[in-house]
Amino acid sequence: YTWGMKHIKEGDEIVLTIAEHHSNILPWQMVAEAKGAKLKYVYLDENFRLSMKDFEEKMSDRVKLVAVQHMSNVLGIINPVEEITQIAHKYGAKVLVDGAQSVPHMKVDLQKINCDFFAFSGHKMLGPMGIGVLYIKEDLLDEVPPFLRGGEMIDEVYEEYSTFAPPPLKFEAGTPNVEGAYVLISAIDYLERIGLENIYEHEAKLLEYGLEKINTLEYVKTYGPMDSKDRGGIISFNVEGVHPHDVATILDEEGIAVRSGHHCCQPLMRYLGVPATVRASFYLYNDFDDIDALVEALKKVRKWFR
């Protein structure tokens, strides 16, 4: 955000995707409004995947930033962020990748992706709420102003101005969330002991099984690619004639935890033509029995609302 406020000017463009989480839309709306820049959105193809054709058509020398999610928290699609970065850099644009959904579920190689900024949160990877990580390329650290100002991030304070400590200290104003950082490190160590490749492989099997089972229910519509290739362990769906909140309530009574609503992705919901969906998310602690229980519970939903 502060990089954008400093470097984006009137007439510049920021490219996003229609599937972004609100947290990767609102900051850029603020920058665009403050600087007189323009937001451009990349849409999906007929298979619910990011249209690279549309992306290339949206790119030009006016684009200064591309902000894209690595994995969709609604559709589960894994975007080709390495290719996106290569194309964006040809036009001189910087790239921010939202890795909140990908980092907990798969091995991520930032050197290979070569993006300029990469962000993820702790609470999606068995860590605590209230803490996250922002990676900034080393040669950009001096170009990013501090977001907050307070104790511990200064070098010298004078009556009229202040100088800041070198990175990363200049980004860490005030008392740090020491407990959160310690627990996040512990969560990362735990996941690495299991192996993120193993987690991804496990979830891929669950996803394939889940898609096969849920798609046998003719009254359930799923959203996302029909295959499990380049897709995370997420299935979003709706039950015909039943509001997603009602579906989630009944599933909860059956001991099944799902999420219902717009999932902080209202532009995507409008694009899909629905107000909300139900989302089943798989992780390392789930198994095939959980999916069988979900399918049986969905049959009960259908029975109760017929």
Query: Is 9 inside a domain boundary?
Result: yes
Instruction: Quote the pLDDT of residue 109.
Output: 98
Query: Is 275 inside a domain boundary?
Result: yes
For residue 153, give every residue at least 6 positions away whose Cβ sits within 8 Å of its Cβ, in sequence order, or none.
Answer: 146, 164, 165, 169, 170, 171, 172, 173, 174
- With helix as H, strand as E and coil as C, how does 56-124 read? HHHCCCCEEEEEEECECCCCCEECCHHHHHHHHHHCCCEEEEECCCCCCCCCCCHHHHCCCEEEEECHH
Which one of 148, 177, 210 terminates a domain? 148
Are 119 and 207 in a shared domain?
no
- Active-site hit among 154, 264, 274, 293: 264
pLDDT by position in tens, the chain (length 306)? 999 999 999 999 999 999 999 999 999 999 999 999 999 999 999 999 999 999 999 999 999 999 999 999 999 999 999 999 999 999 999 999 999 999 999 999 999 999 999 999 999 999 999 999 999 999 999 999 999 999 889 999 999 999 999 999 999 999 989 999 999 999 999 999 999 999 999 999 999 999 999 999 999 999 999 888 899 999 999 999 999 999 999 999 999 999 999 999 999 999 999 999 999 999 999 999 999 999 999 999 999 987
Q: What total number of domains does the chain contain?
A: 2
Query: Is 188 inside a domain boundary?
Result: no
Which one of 83, 118, 148 terminates a domain? 148
Q: Assess contact for 183 and 127: CB atoms under 8 A.
A: yes
Are 208 and 297 in a shared domain?
yes
In this structure, what CATH number is given to the domain that contains residue 41?
Answer: 3.40.640.10
> Which one-letter amino acid corresponds to residue 34?
A
Are 96 and 200 in a shared domain?
no
Q: Which two tokens stand for residue 230?
A: 């380049």
For residue 285, give every residue at least 6 positions away whose Cβ sits within 8 Å of its Cβ, in sequence order, or none.
Answer: none
Q: pTM to 2 decimals? A: 0.95
In which domain, by residue range, is 202 found?
196-305
Q: Which two tokens stand for residue 201?
A: 């492989």
Rounded Cα–Cα distance for residues 117 and 94 (Å): 8
Query: Is 170 inside a domain boundary?
Result: no
Are 98 and 223 in a shared domain?
no
Are 120 and 12 in a shared domain?
yes
Query: Is 185 inside a domain boundary?
Result: no
Query: Is 187 inside a domain boundary?
Result: no
Rounded Cα–Cα distance for residues 197 and 105 (Å): 8
Are 205 and 267 in a shared domain?
yes
Task: Based on the residue annotation, tell me whether 264 is a catalytic residue of this protein.
Answer: yes
Burial class (CB in 10 A: 0-12, 13-18, 19+), 60: exposed
Are 212 and 123 in a shared domain?
no
Q: Assess contact for 25 and 266: CB atoms under 8 A.
A: no
Q: Which residue has the tokens 């599933």?
A: 251
Any idea what DSSP says for residue 151? Answer: T
Are 25 and 123 in a shared domain?
yes
What is the number of H-type helices and E-type strands within the chain? 10, 12
Are 204 and 113 in a shared domain?
no
